[in-house]
Amino acid sequence: MVFPTSALVLITATWNRNKLKVDCAIEPVICVMSTGINSPDEWTSFPQVVDHFATTHGSAAAVEDAEGVWTYAQLRDASLRAAAVLSQNGLRGSRAPIWMQPAEQPLAPRPLAVWLPRSREFFALCFGAWRLGLPVIALSGDMADKFLEKERNQQSLRSLKPLALIADATSGAALALDAGVSDLPILSVSEVLAAIRVQDRGIANALKEAGVMSEGDAPTTPTSALVYVFTGGTTKASKCVCVTHAMALWEASNYQTALFGAARVGDKFLQYSTLFWGAAVFGQLSIGLAVGGCICVGGSPMGCRGSADALSQLACDVKSFGITVLGVVPSQLRGAWPGGPASAPESLRMLIVWADKCPVELSR
């Protein structure tokens, strides 16, 4: 099914085992899952999605923030530099556990904790860690409710026992002290950022010096942990969820089916959620990368004042970035554009709603 580019399309999707039920504003469709982008069955880690588009569409925009834009080739190279500096500091993941052991549940692999605002460098750092088989736990600093945020960050450091924390010295020491983990190694964020941003150092030389010659040397497999995220925080029933590389690769291979092939390289996707809601952040990353789109880092990376401020920022970001495909919760859609489709920017051509059921009157 092909949608006219001038039409604003609304898509909702629910997954059920081997089939994907997709409803759009035109008609409901049942689709068998497709393989999506090239040879995902051979991939073992999420960074290979970036590597794929760096090879096939290296000059296409991959991630944009307030400071500039990186292409897929630049994002790949930045993530390789991040992997090199992490490895130079002795950081490396372990082999994935056998999750479904009949006797006892295995211990979750210890992650790399990151205290850094959402940005091009933040995502490059994540991909660098994933290349080494290191799962990531992102600590938030952009949540309106600072008490809840502090509580979550403490819980993350205490329960997951990170191998190291990437932060500035002052913030890192304060985070470790608050969580009661004073022995937590802290890696200077300025050192990491300097390595990521450097342009005059050969990637091959950097990896050779670090002893990371190829991704095949890394312990990453599809069952390796990718990120740890917490859900249900505002319901007082917070729980930690482990997302594996296989889950991200499955999304990468099936989003083309879910979106009817209507999203593509060159489309712009908004990543606006706070790191407090890690599942939303990495989900917004996954959907754009699955089709070779550009992830635009919006929201309020340095913090917002509340929900009204966040909705205003959402509407502003869609307009300023020229977002073409937007994933939102239905209530956010109504709050950001109370005037309906007539008040939405002309660039926006596709809406994807999730989390809550979309009321019929809103979809119309």
Per-residue confidence in pLDDT tens, the chain, 364 aa: 233 334 455 554 443 333 334 444 333 333 222 333 445 568 889 999 999 999 999 999 999 999 999 999 999 999 999 999 999 999 998 888 777 766 677 778 999 999 999 999 999 999 999 999 999 999 999 888 889 899 999 999 999 999 999 999 999 999 999 999 989 999 999 999 999 998 655 664 656 555 554 444 557 889 999 999 988 655 667 789 999 999 999 988 898 888 888 899 999 999 999 999 899 999 999 999 999 999 999 987 666 665 667 788 888 999 999 999 999 888 888 788 877 778 888 899 998 887 777 777 777 6
Residues 6+ apart with CB under 8 A from 263: 255, 256, 291, 293, 325, 350
Kindly compute the dihedral angle of the four CA atoms of residues 164, 168, 174, 180, in this order, to the nearest 10 degrees. Answer: 0
Q: What is the pLDDT of residue 335?
A: 80
Place of tokens 């605002």: 117
**3-class SS at 143?**
coil
Find how far residue 281's CA is from the centre of its chain. 5
Q: Is residue 93 part of a domain?
A: yes
Q: What is the pLDDT of residue 224?
A: 93
Residue 245 sits in a domain whose CATH number is 3.40.50.12780
**3-class SS at 102?**
coil
Kindly compute the dihedral angle of the four CA atoms of residues 346, 349, 352, 353, in this order, to the nearest 10 degrees. Answer: 40
d(CA 244, CA 246): 5
d(CA 250, CA 118): 24
Q: Is residue 202 part of a domain?
A: yes
The model's pTM: 0.85
Closest alpha carbon to 274 in 229, 336, 324: 229
Q: Is residue 3 part of a domain?
A: no
Q: Is residue 4 part of a domain?
A: no
Give the dihedral sign, CA 173/175/176/180: positive
d(CA 364, CA 361): 5
Residues 6+ apart with CB under 8 A from 210: 83, 84, 85, 87, 88
Q: Is residue 240 part of a domain?
A: yes
Host domain of residue 209: 9-363
**3-class SS at 58?**
coil
Please list the alpha-helical segments (H only) found in the chain.
Answer: 47-56, 72-88, 120-131, 146-160, 169-179, 189-197, 203-210, 245-258, 278-290, 307-321, 330-336, 360-363
Phi, psi of 229 (to 5 degrees): -135, 155
Place of tokens 């970001």: 317
**3-class SS at 73?**
helix
Q: Is residue 145 part of a domain?
A: yes
Regarding beta strands 268-271 and 28-32, do their DSSP bridges make them parallel or antiparallel, or are they unpaired? Answer: unpaired
Classify burial at 221, counting beta carbons within 10 Å of its beta carbon; exposed 0-12, middle 13-18, buried 19 or more: middle
Residues 6+ apart with CB under 8 A from 312: 336
In order, the DSSP letters of 293-342 are -EEEE-S-TT--SSHHHHHHHHHHHHHHHT-SEEEE-HHHHHHH-TT-GG
Q: Is residue 26 part of a domain?
A: yes
Domain count across the chain: 1
Q: What is the pLDDT of residue 47?
A: 96
Q: Is residue 254 part of a domain?
A: yes
Q: What is the pLDDT of residue 231?
A: 80
Residues 6+ apart with CB under 8 A from 141: 115, 117, 149, 275, 302, 303
d(CA 319, CA 296): 12
Q: Which two tokens stand for residue 221?
A: 């497999």
